[in-house]
Chain A
Amino acid sequence: MLAEGGGIVGLGRYVYDLGTNAWGSCFAEVEVDMRTGQVEVLRLVVAHEIGRVLYPAGAEAQIHGGAMQGLGFAMTEDLILDRESRIPVNASYYEYRPPTALDYPEMVPILIESPAKSGPFGAKGLGESPIMGPAPAIGNAILNATGVLMPELPYSWDRVHHALKAAGKLATGELRT
């Protein structure tokens, strides 16, 4: 129709190359206090396949930063609404509780190189992807440690305590070392 009317028509084609995707995985080691529900993340191993690594220090820093954001997402950060009024009860940076420098677990970033054809110099993107890994990894680590699957993020003390109690796994006696 447009061509008949004298318009300009262009025809393009795009085939999505799966090789452009950056892939990643995350492994978490946690310690769960069976009396209180406190979960301490001891170690995060974060591996990312990002094509040709152009700037290793920058890429590792990206993983550090992303994994820490993911850690906050997994453990403490939550927008909490009052049940009745639906007004936020933690509308401040203190109460939202993003993790601090002293909450840093041992972090092991791993960069895997496999140059991609589609990117410049074989590079792929590494932006937000390290944020995704920690929450499911920590959730599965808690499952592995306690046998209890956490149904909801974040894995805060009260929620883990509640889940352990519901599963009958809460330790009530003393824990001797």
Chain B
Amino acid sequence: MKLQIDEPRPFKLVSPASVDDAVKLWHDNPGKAMYLAGGGDVVDVVKRHLAEPTLLLDLKRIPALRGVSAKVDDPQPSVTLGALTTLRELSEDTNVRRYLPALAAAASRVATPQIRNVGTLGGNLLQENRCPYYRGPWHCYRHGGMHCYARHGFHREHAIFGGDRCYVVSPSDLAPVIVAGNAIVHVVGPKGPRTMDAEQLFVPASSNLTRMHTLEDGEVLTAIEFRVRQPQQPRRAIEAGLGVRGSVAPLPLEERFPSVFVKYAMRNSFDFALASVCIFLDRDGRRVHRCRIALGAVAATPHRARDAEQVVAGNLLTDDVIHEAGRAAVHGAEPLELNGYKVGLVQKLVTQALQELNT
């Protein structure tokens, strides 16, 4: 069969009506089927023959996978996002904007308005890496080869953390948000439903070079759930019981758990991040109790800046703490020849994001 450049191999498109139907169809065609969400990445992957499915299962016709549901008055408040919710819906949803401003900001910074209209939350999280050698005609480690062509070639946008034979970065803007937000990933597969922490969804280069995520064959990412993992009552109750301040009204959720996302790219639109950062705090006024910082596009997974988190946690967000956190965020960075600018960039991003949280 003679194919034109950029012409995919022939495939059949099927639109199952439910997740179970989709999983069953996948199970009946092992190794031949691929799930299709917005198509922004899958279509490109199929056109470049990085994958050659004969069956594409379109998940967009499954209404249960779409939409945002917020349970903010529960004892454990949560916001659940269907995996097929488009990036535009995420960036415009009132609950997302109010309780997860970082997610709304990240969704609004992806690519272009046209792509955000079709691109989905799940698709953005599970997209393949953008390494030009991986996507081009090179037989690199990720294709089963024995060489990384980027290491001594063109690696301006490659990893500064955790590079191990392969130096690709996680290209997703939403990935650092779900990791910093300690979200729960809901998955349905041939063996039934399961959940995992957001951090477990991604694969570091050191553990497996052939995949970017840990979904098993035939599994569908159905939803991402942001939940207040620890009830905020006990500490308040102790304070109230000791009569420190009498009965203190708990802070509104959005003030207690603020979040911020900052991204830098070569262009202000239609571009993947050179580096991005997402920070979630748990705080009273200026005192930070807990802090999670995740960096995007600097490693094969969203990279937790744990040293910086430790600088911030338990402290007031003073200028000294903010700059100390910026310095700590680049501990362990190992830049290559062309991507040294990312070290300064990460420092700048973390500082800037913490300053934004302070205002």
Partner-B contacts on A (CB < 8 A): 33, 35-38, 76, 80, 82-85, 87, 89-91, 94-95, 97, 99-103, 156-158, 160-162, 165, 170-172, 174-176
Cβ contacts under 8 Å, B154 to chain A: 80, 82-83, 89
Known: A156-B156, A158-B156. A37 touches B267 (CB 8 A): no
Which residues between 124 and 139 of chain B lie within 8 Å of chain A, taking CB atoms? 132-133, 136-138
Beyond the given A85-B149, A97-B266, could you list 6 further A-B residue pairs with CB under 8 A, ordered by the A residue number?
A84-B149, A89-B153, A99-B267, A157-B266, A157-B345, A170-B344
Q: Is B348 an interface residue (CB 8 A)?
A: yes
Cβ contacts under 8 Å, B327 to chain A: 174
Cβ contacts under 8 Å, A170 to chain B: 344
Expressed in whole angstroms, the Cα–Cα distance for A102 and B326 within the complex equals 28
Q: Is B319 an interface residue (CB 8 A)?
A: yes
B351–A174 contact, CB under 8 A? yes
Q: Is B271 an interface residue (CB 8 A)?
A: yes
B266–A100 contact, CB under 8 A? no
Closest Cβ of chain B to A36, distance in Å, is 4
Contact of B153 among A76, A83, A97 (CB under 8 A): A83
Closest Cβ of chain B to A47, distance in Å, is 26
Cβ contacts under 8 Å, B319 to chain A: 176
Surface stretch bound by A, among B27-35, B216-224, B287-295, B335-343? B335-343
Q: Is B323 an interface residue (CB 8 A)?
A: yes
Closest Cβ of chain B to A175, distance in Å, is 8
Cβ contacts under 8 Å, B338 to chain A: 158, 162
B149–A82 contact, CB under 8 A? yes
Closest Cβ of chain A to B39, distance in Å, is 16
Cβ contacts under 8 Å, B69 to chain A: none
Q: Is B264 an interface residue (CB 8 A)?
A: yes
* B331-359 Cβ-contact flags toward A at 8 Å (1 or 0): 00000001111101101100100000000
Q: Is B84 an interface residue (CB 8 A)?
A: no
Closest Cβ of chain B to A54, distance in Å, is 34
Expressed in whole angstroms, the Cα–Cα distance for A107 and B156 within the complex equals 29
Closest partner residue, chain A, to B111 (CB atom): A94
Expressed in whole angstroms, the Cα–Cα distance for A172 and B152 within the complex equals 25
Interface size range on B against A: 20 to 34
Among A87, A157, A170: residue with most chain B CB under 10 A: A157
B267–A35 contact, CB under 8 A? no
A157–B274 contact, CB under 8 A? yes
B341–A97 contact, CB under 8 A? no
Partner-A contacts on B (CB < 8 A): 132-133, 136-138, 149, 152-154, 156, 264, 266-271, 274, 319, 323, 326-327, 338-342, 344-345, 347-348, 351
Expressed in whole angstroms, the Cα–Cα distance for A36 and B338 within the complex equals 12
B267–A76 contact, CB under 8 A? yes
Expressed in whole angstroms, the Cα–Cα distance for A170 and B340 within the complex equals 11
Cβ contacts under 8 Å, A83 to chain B: 152-154
Known: A103-B267, A161-B340. A174 touches B132 (CB 8 A): no
B266–A84 contact, CB under 8 A? no
A87–B156 contact, CB under 8 A? no
Cβ contacts under 8 Å, B133 to chain A: 82, 89
Closest partner residue, chain B, to A102 (CB atom): B268
B340–A95 contact, CB under 8 A? no
Closest partner residue, chain A, to B346 (CB atom): A36
Cβ contacts under 8 Å, B156 to chain A: 156-158
Cβ contacts under 8 Å, A36 to chain B: 341-342, 344-345, 348
Cβ contacts under 8 Å, A172 to chain B: 344
Expressed in whole angstroms, the Cα–Cα distance for A33 and B342 within the complex equals 12
Cβ contacts under 8 Å, B137 to chain A: 87
Cβ contacts under 8 Å, B132 to chain A: 89-90, 95
Closest Cβ of chain B to A8, distance in Å, is 53
Between-chain CB contacts (< 8 Å), 21 pairs: A33-B344, A35-B344, A35-B345, A35-B348, A37-B341, A37-B344, A76-B266, A82-B133, A82-B154, A87-B137, A102-B267, A102-B268, A156-B156, A157-B156, A157-B266, A158-B156, A161-B340, A174-B326, A174-B327, A174-B347, A174-B351
Known: A35-B344, A158-B339. A174 touches B268 (CB 8 A): no
B341–A158 contact, CB under 8 A? yes
Among B136, B153, B267, B327: residue with most chain A CB under 10 A: B267
Q: Which 4 A-B pairs have the closest CB atoms?
A: A35-B344, A102-B268, A161-B341, A89-B132
Cβ contacts under 8 Å, A158 to chain B: 156, 338-341
A87–B136 contact, CB under 8 A? yes
B267–A100 contact, CB under 8 A? yes
Cβ contacts under 8 Å, B271 to chain A: 94, 97, 100
Among A82, A84, A89, A172: residue with most chain B CB under 10 A: A89
Cβ contacts under 8 Å, A95 to chain B: 132
